[in-house]
Amino acid sequence: MIDLVDVSRTVPSGAGPLTILHPTSLSIARGRVVAITGASGSGKSTLLGLIAGLDAPTSGRIVIDGTDITAISEDALARLRGEKIGIIFQFFHLLPSLTAFENVLVPMEIAGVADAAARANQLLAEVGLQARGHHYPSQLSGGEQQRVAIARALSNDPAIVLADEPTGNLDSTTGRQVIDLLVNVSRQRGRTLLLVTHDPALADVADDQVQLRDGRIVS
């Protein structure tokens, strides 16, 4: 499903090139829930960004469902994300000028899905927010915003869901609820879930764990 072959990432910095991800190879099978753990600055988010096609590796290949995403254009990458990858961020990143319902709707509109409105309502119901669909992000609590983000990430029924510290901005109770929701929904649908977290307790819900330290996989 996801194959990384000798993928590295180096960025320019004041003191010369800085390698934030050393050559790494990794293979994740379909339907697995994988937690990527590590301390701040260990390269977790960089790895996630590379898998999402949000960033380009300095070297190596990334193959998503048979497609080498290091060899395709920005617009093709955007299409791929729209069809196969759902992303959930620590800071939710909902569109502030759109209601919760519209936020869930947008990926389906981009992909040209036919019964988008019905599906958006269904997804909101699944995350327990059917009654809040007409609210703007600023009118929702952090937990509610993250649940909208989960519904949005699942809207095109992607094969892969990537979550970057999805509970990092929530209190522990709400965080736990969000993780349970995310893992349950992914398992029910047989989706591959990559969960970036620095919380070992949250990582325990995963089938596999990948631990990073200083840009290298240590376990």
Partner 1 sequence: MTFVLRMVWRETRASWARLLFFFLCAALGVAAIVVLRSVVQNVRITLTREARSLVGADIVLQAPRPWSDDARGRIAAGIAGVVVRARTEVVETQTMVRAAIDPNAPVKLIELRGVEAGFPFYGAIELSDGKQYTHHLVRNHGLVVHEDLLADLGLQVGDALAIAGETFEIRASFTRDRVQQATGLQLGPRVYIDLADLRATTLLARGSRAAHEILLRVDEPDIDATTTRLRHLLRNDVASVRSWMTLEDRLGRNLTLAENYLSLVGFAMVVLGGLGVWSVTRVLVQEKVRSVAILKCLGASARAILAIYVLQVLLMAAAASGMGVGLAAIAAGAIPPDVIKPLGVSSVTITASAAAQGASVGLLVSLLFAVVPLLDMRRVKPLRLLRADVGAEATRRRDWAGWLIGAAVGALLVGVAAWQANSLRAGLYVTAGLAAVGLLLALASRIVVRLVAPLAASRQFAIRHAVLGLSRPGNQTRVILMAVGLGAFFVLTVRALQVNLLADLDEQLGSNLPDLVLVDVQPDQLSGVQAALGAHARRPPSLNPHLRARIVAVNGRRQALADLDAVRKVGPLAREFALTYRDALEPNERVVAGQFWSGRQTSVASAEDADAEVSMAEDLRDDAKLDLGDVITFDIAGRRLRARVTSLRNVAWGNEQNGGFVFVLRPSAAVEALPQNFLAFVQLQDGSSSRNAVQRALVSAYPNVTIIDVRDIIGRLREVVDNVALGVTIVGLVTLVSGTLILIGAVAMTRFQRLYESAIYRTLGASTRRVVMLVAVEYGVLGFGAGAVGAVGALALSWTLARFLFDLTWRPATGLLLGGLAATTLLVMVVGVVISLDVVIRKPLSTLRGEA
Residues that bind partner 1 (CB under 8 A): 11-12, 45-46, 48-49, 52, 54-55, 74-75, 78-83, 87, 89, 91, 93-98, 102, 106-107, 109-112, 138, 152, 156, 164
What is the nearest approach in angstroms of partner 1 to the Cβ of residue 106?
A: 6
30-45: burial string, b at 16+ Cβ within 10 Å, e else: eebbbbbbbeeebbbb
**Of 197, 192, 212, 198, which Cα lies nearest the Cα of 164?**
197
Nearer to partner 1, 85 or 210 (CB): 85
Tokens encoding 188 = 């029910």
Nearer to partner 1, 111 or 125 (CB): 111
Asked whether the beta carbons of 62 and 50 are under 8 A apart, the reply is: yes
What is the nearest approach in angstroms of partner 1 to the Cβ of residue 74?
A: 7
What is the nearest approach in angstroms of partner 1 to the Cβ of residue 152?
A: 7
Question: Letter for the amino acid at 69?
Answer: I
Beta bridge partners of 196: 36, 164
Nearer to partner 1, 91 or 208 (CB): 91
What is the nearest approach in angstroms of partner 1 to the Cβ of residue 196?
A: 10
Nearer to partner 1, 140 or 182 (CB): 140
Tokens encoding 32 = 């697995």
